Structure 1
């Protein structure tokens, strides 16, 4: 029997499942971080929701912890790295609220189209404003879905029933998978130019923060309406408010905000904006599913059985030879996702000594890094293959013990891009050694810039000058050479994230073919 500390409310059915397994369930509501440190001592499992902060200090105090369970999806309040270092399994309930979030999206879509909250408020205040709140039909309108993950897919299915035309932006979904959903894939700016309504279903990453900004709204179809039930910060709220005031955007419906709790926003002043206080997962059914699922995962973890929704998997499952390559493999997947609008297939090749070992966990690490950049849910070694299957991406592995230039090499190909990395020296330091078939030698860094350019003098100066004007230091740099010896690619490690305006300045410069800014976790 184990002691399970539950610090937040979960469904009673989940608690009963834990008790039925013979465990002691200790339900508490700590009023401070200090009280939590005392309560967690002697507990073998800790179950939380979004309010409890599971820090490194909490994990240290809970020296007997086997598992931390989050009754929901997000893990922002759990120090997963510290848990992994201490050998504590972290589990969540990634599928518990997808249906509720999709239905809330449809509710906001309808509320925005028909002005339901505004008309309701007016009538309750004694005003019969029938003509003021004339709405629009959904039928025959174009819905742009940004992100075709689990929630985006459910929204697409429901919107079809309303007779809507569906377009979507998701560079990590194959065209065939999109066709199966009756969705036409477009680039984001194209989607914004044709959509009457846009719904967002993407993870909050450095690439998606401010995804819908003033410049993108300016390019959008006049009269467009924006719905966000994903994460706050993906939409620039100030820019959205200004676009609505100008009349270019007809309205918006938001469930999430850049800072939460949020009780003040320029959007709240606008009559054609519908808002809710992060209710996407707030249904009895979602809470019941989360409680039941997390209880099941915790019971399995305490029994030492396979745990389907484990977020961190012990590296002990890899051989001593393969284990040092796990961080490198995950970094490669993360970097590749930032470079490639992958669709169709991802080829992973292992060369050299590691090819003689079981490399399946390295493939899982690549997929974990890759989908961690693009998924709207936490990604683990366990669920990464399922995400690839859902998005119609075929993962192909190959191995050869022959390696021409390095003792070991991991190479990725797909979506018109290629990337390879290895470990060098006695310390096994990671190196990116190939980008798009250009030879480079750069350690992966948190902030990187990949620039394709014409083969002509002065191109390094163009990039260096633009970064210098922006106050961005270049920590490392290499000029990649193709098989023909042509230096037409630069890979730079920078001191900070390269702002969008600097990227645009570089793209507009003569001789620059493409610019990819990468911000790794």
Structure 2
């Protein structure tokens, strides 16, 4: 297929066949953070409108009735606010409610107590939250486990007079059970922006004046819509350039932190070097991360390594999306290991490829200096310090007097300039590897002449651009 990317200027992907796209190597992106501020603000708006009965009061006054004594709301100030789900929107909601001088408690089994403490939030069990909270806002995804989470049983556990808001996903609250809890007086009021079935034009909640409802407006602001378009446009540009796309939903490896992102290219280039030197695919590719980088989530580096190796060996386009599928089809396994120790560099990534005949190729790379310059620092136990850029001749040969001069002569005769060079000998001082960065392609006849002149056992031109 010529299709490269499917971009959804929003969050939902119900109308995209993601598995089919993945199978064909087509990246699917959305804009998961484009509406988080808008959604959090809408939850706050529902909370305030519900607590102060604003829509009902507005309706009576529009009917030319002045019923001031009928509407006696509750303050947010000083209350305990329970946040069910402490993801990005849940955190934003909690931060905004904290400004009302509330005490925020939260339930989320995937958030550590330390992280919650950083946010100034007390992490509790769901039962404790239901028992203690004066106001509850739900911020969970809809899954089989969360569907109907606030049903008859859990609503009965809530504090009498609680105010409940759901601007996350329909179906998290049993609407019939909530209506009964409001009628009985146990739940004071509720605000809902989402419903189990949408569009929703009939619900037992619609007849209750204590309920504030909106037709799924959580993402409906001009700013969120503009941001969604901008976000997916950036993702499309990244994808078409072959770069990693943080918002791709069908790329394995997890999120890429700012500490990991600069390493994607050097690891890809290490893979390119392995592929060029071997001319075949390995059966196993090990990505060994050492030093400070090992404290980060680096699983995505395996994808970069696979991209590099495959792009040097096969003709198919290799992307972050189809790299795992290509590896599975061709029997290549990839793994990531980590170690805190790095003797010579703050961080280094060692790529180790094992081939079907038992042979091994190792290539190590690092980033140096404030500019994070990409460098190849080791090939098969031989140390280097060469920028990973441009066209490079990699020559393995038996060291001998005058070998470098012979190589330079052949390149000079062909009008090829050597821009940088690094030589490394093995421990015995016999075998040697030289890396030469050149300014143009080296024709096969020139490579053959160099090979003959120095008795090269391997000579490859590798593009590390």
**Shorter-chain-normalised TM-score: which range?**
0.5 to 0.7
Q: Kindly report which structure 2 residues correspond to 1:23-62, keeping only aligned pairs within 5 A, or say none.
A: none
Contact 2:131 2:159 in 1 (8 A): yes
Q: Distance in 2 between matches of 1:177 and 1:240?
A: 32
Which residue is equivalent to 2:251?
313
Which residue is equivalent to 1:195?
133
Which residue is equivalent to 2:182?
244
State the 1:363 CA deviation. Answer: 4.3
Computing the radius of gyration from Cα coordinates, the structure with the larger value is: 2
Q: Kindly report which structure 2 residues correspond to 1:279-358, keeping only aligned pairs within 5 A, or say none.
A: 279-313=217-251, 357-358=286-287
State the 1:123 CA deviation. Answer: 0.4
State the 1:291 CA deviation. Answer: 0.8
Contact 2:83 2:90 in 1 (8 A): yes
Contact 2:40 2:93 in 1 (8 A): yes
Distance 1:114 1:282, change over 3 A: same
Where 2:188 maps in the other structure, the secondary structure is: strand
Which residue is equivalent to 1:139?
77
Unaligned runs of 5+ in 2: 254-281, 290-296, 303-319, 322-335, 340-465
Task: Name which of 194, 212, 215 aligns with 1:274.
Answer: 212
State the 1:304 CA deviation. Answer: 2.5
Q: Distance in 1 between matches of 2:210 and 2:16?
A: 37
State the 1:354 CA deviation. Answer: 9.8
Contact 2:288 2:337 in 1 (8 A): no
State the 1:287 CA deviation. Answer: 0.4
Distance 1:179 1:272, change over 3 A: same
Which residue is equivalent to 2:23?
85
State the 1:78 CA deviation. Answer: 1.2
Q: Distance in 2 between matches of 1:265 and 1:202?
A: 22
User: Deviations for 1:137-180, whole angstroms, at most 9, x for unmatched residues?
Assistant: 10011100011111111111111110111110011111111111
Task: Name which of 101, 106, 121 aligns with 2:39.
Answer: 101
How many residue pairs get matched? 273
Where 1:357 maps in the other structure, the secondary structure is: strand
Contact 1:87 1:314 in 2 (8 A): no
Contact 1:146 1:168 in 2 (8 A): yes
Which residue is equivalent to 1:130?
68
Which residue is equivalent to 1:219?
157
Q: Distance in 2 between matches of 1:213 and 1:168?
A: 19
Contact 1:232 1:256 in 2 (8 A): yes
Where 1:358 maps in the other structure, the secondary structure is: strand
Question: What RMSD over aligned residues (CA atoms) do the two structures have, in Å?
Answer: 2.6
User: Deviations for 1:303-346, whole angstroms, at most 9, x for unmatched residues?
Assistant: 3333221112279xxxxxxxxxxxxxxxxxxxxxxxxxxxxxxx
User: Deviations for 1:94-139, whole angstroms, at most 9, x for unmatched residues?
Assistant: 1100000000011001001111111011101111111111101100
Task: Name which of 88, 96, 102 aligns with 1:164.
Answer: 102
Distance 1:314 1:117, change over 3 A: closer
Q: Distance in 1 between matches of 2:208 and 2:283?
A: 59
